[in-house]
Amino acid sequence: MEYTTKRSQGGLLEGLYRVIMRRNSIYVTFIIAGAFAGERAVDYGVRKIWEHNNVGKRYEDIPVLGQRQSEE
């Protein structure tokens, strides 16, 4: 009986390693882009939560502030 060695296709982590982490320049670029995208997502989410919790209390919501009466 002759055994042939088959290289498995690997799982998700092995594919991730082959695509992203094999070369340092691609890995660093992936980390920087991920940090930027993550920061944007967290900022957007926190801002939406803050605006939802403070409806009617913000400067933009008060109708008489920032408006001058027209001089006619």
Query: What is the rounded distance in angstroms from the CA atom of residue 25 to the CA atom of residue 31?
Result: 10
Q: What is residue 30's predicted lDDT score, i.e. its pLDDT?
A: 92
pLDDT along the chain (72 residues), means of 10: 56 87 90 97 97 86 68 57
Q: What is residue 20's predicted lDDT score, i.e. its pLDDT?
A: 85
Instruction: Determine whether 55 is exposed, middle or buried from the number of CB atoms within 10 Å of its CB (0-12, 13-18, 19+).
Output: exposed
